[in-house]
Amino acid sequence: MKNFGKLTDQTIYNKEFNIEFKGYSTLEVDAFLDDVIYDYQQFQSIVEKAQESILQLQRANASLQAKVIELDGRLDVSSSPEMSNHQTDLLKRLAKLEQEVYQK
């Protein structure tokens, strides 16, 4: 997976700070960084799942588009008005299916 920013959970985990007189509490900083690492891991998991969902939706969309092309090839535009209405109905149904797929 491509990193989205400068930090990863490992760069946060491995970060070391200089100790100065009257510096921050090491325990507090470590505890906070543990929370930040956990959040980054959760974020990375969500992004990976979203990317997989996008790929699945793209595959589904390509499949639906192939079906439209196949149906277009089968239907003769110059056929009876009943067939033309049937084609319109199919296209409307397909548009609804695409909306359903992309809304989830």
Residues 65 and 92 reside in one and the same domain: yes
pLDDT: is 63 or 73 the higher one?
Answer: 63
Residues 59 and 100 reside in one and the same domain: yes
Residues 20 and 58 reside in one and the same domain: no
Specify the number of domains making up the chain.
Answer: 2
Residues 60 and 94 reside in one and the same domain: yes
Those residues with Cβ within 8 angstroms of residue 71's Cβ, 6 or more apart along the chain or in another chain? 87, 90
Residues 62 and 74: beta-carbon distance below 8 Å? no
pLDDT of residue 97: 84
The residue to which tokens 């359903």 are assigned: 100
pLDDT of residue 4: 63
Residues 2 and 39 reside in one and the same domain: yes
Specify the pTM. Answer: 0.53
Mean pLDDT along residues 8-17: 81
Residues 7 and 39 reside in one and the same domain: yes
pLDDT of residue 73: 74
Domain of residue 101, residue span = 52-104
| CA 10/CA 101 separation, integer angstroms | 36
Cα→Cα distances 8→30, 39, 56, 69, Å: 16, 11, 26, 44
